Structure 1
Amino acid sequence: MAMKPARLTVAAAAVLLGCVTGCGSGEDPAGPAPASTAPTATAPAGAAGPKAAATATARPVDTVLDVLVTSDDGVGSAGVDALAHALATLPGTTVRIVAPAANQSGTGDRSSGGQITHGDTTTATGQRATEVSGFPADAVAVALDDLGLRPDLVVAGIHEGQNLGPDLGTSGTVGAARAAARRGIPALAASAGLGDTYDYGPAVAQVLAWISAHRANLLATSAAGGQPASAVGGSAATQTVANLNVPNCFAGGAVRGVRELASEARVADPAATRTTQTCTATITSDDEVGAFNAGFATLTTVPARQPE
């Protein structure tokens, strides 16, 4: 993966915010549509002045998209393997895998207090990777601080099981994406719904569609240069990440489309967030959990910091 300058700047944030404007919701009767909500990383307060202006100097746009893949399911998970294989087929794209050595699902954006070690390993099918003796957020920190990577995008996933609004506080998938966003790196959390069996193909397809839709904006962010919010001070509370959940249609049917919806902080029946999906359903819903359980992939924007 090529080394790129850390970021984001005000100019970069404006580029990403621009791609969100006009994004609508609704179902696609013809099948899954490219997911379009983009992550944003707002430049922190206090970054004005000559020094900040210098960081906003535009560089030639790099045509190679560098993607960091991580997952709370661990470096040996099937979701990581399927995603990394698919990303490697994209033209002009590099892929690095840095993930926890063991399953760390349910750990949110927790970080280790002690020493974190890392080493070379491979995925389930032999792809080169780095394993980290810590949480998903630790894996992001190791990639950026110890390995010196500067990805254009961090994709956390593909997680085995959905990560919907009410469960985001404990989601290691979303936690890893949030850790990246707080460092100024655009991030996407991707999960496949619970089921008796798992086919990651539909979720992989949606991730690739999302990347295709936002590739130019992600590369423009790199060209803008800048520094991570954590390096220059100020508030990162307005940063967001994209959270994509794709139904598991093991019982029949197919993903009915993509719905861009508001993330639900709570639902009347908590069990509804951890059930299987009905891809043959005919009902529609404007609620995240209801739409997902009725066979729609859902795309939400969530803050980089878990609300109190």
Structure 2
Amino acid sequence: MVVRLRDVAAAAGVSDATVSLALAGNPRISTATSARVIAAANQLGYRPNSAARALRTESTKSLGLIVSDVANPFFAELAGTIERQAAHEGYSLILCNSDEDVARQDDYLLNLLAGSQVDGVLLVPTASTTPGLRALAASGAKIVLLDRPITVSGTGAVAESLRTVPIVSSDPRQALADAAELLARLGHRRVGVVAPPLATPLGRDRRGQIRDALVSAGFRSRDIVVEEGDFRQESGYRAAEALLASGNPTVIIAADGPMGVGALKALRAHGIRVPHDMSVICFDDAPWFDLFDPPLSAIAQPIEELARAAIAAVLAQREGNPVLAAHPPCTFISRSSCGVPAG
């Protein structure tokens, strides 16, 4: 049986993060707690990982990438592009899929990536600050956040370290302004939004960006109805049904690809034609969006630029050079899914 870090944590009666720090010899952990953790690890036969030391002192010419859902076409394409960019720089890539699961994400952070002694971690976070992310930051690991920001609370060295972690994410504001201008010109007045989870920084940011673009184009706030999804296709279906029941919109904007596909399925189930009865715009221009009937208008994220910026950021950390956040702009691609509203 494979003994995992969480098994040691349970046996010692401490958190996963405490085990990681104790086994790395972090002075923040008391002598008594460290002794208890080491005793539990020895009893269970757990092999302490050396991630913290490796990330600071050695180069394995490998990087770790944790995406939140490898089945999401955006992340699948982004992962492939990052792998090619890493190979161009002479690095191999270890790809992990957290499947929007916090525990699974932290398991990768504290075990798989740490045990593989990667030179840096590129992370699409499933939530705000987690124990695994705090432990990795405390270890001095090289971390870059992709696509999603995190909220850091509290004070202290670890919190300050997390606040300085660079983030590479796209800037959709101009693309949304272009989309909102088109919708206003076509005569739309009521908009339904399928937003990411509003408990996350990304969900709040994306909702605010969409609302700001629409209001600037002349839409009234009261005519913008938001329903929350969870990045999954099924949630897009449910959100679209809720919008149809409550907001009576003439256009739906879905804040990611799978939720957009779910919304389209809901419209089809209700006999609503696109764009004759409902216009649709979706984030993350999947390669097959132009094969839909009608082709789907999209806020396209700059995948090549994101991949280059992410690799550059983690390697700059590795070399001790200044690291800046990067926010390349999105592009609005207008296709046939937007039309004049019925009536």
Same structural fold, with TM-score higher than 0.5 when normalized by the shorter chain: no
Higher RCO structure, 1 or 2 (CA under 8 Å, sep 6+): 1
The structure that is helix-richer by fraction is: 2
Bin the TM-score by the shorter chain.
under 0.3
Question: TM-score, normalised on structure 1?
Answer: 0.27
Larger Rg: 2
The structure that is strand-richer by fraction is: 1
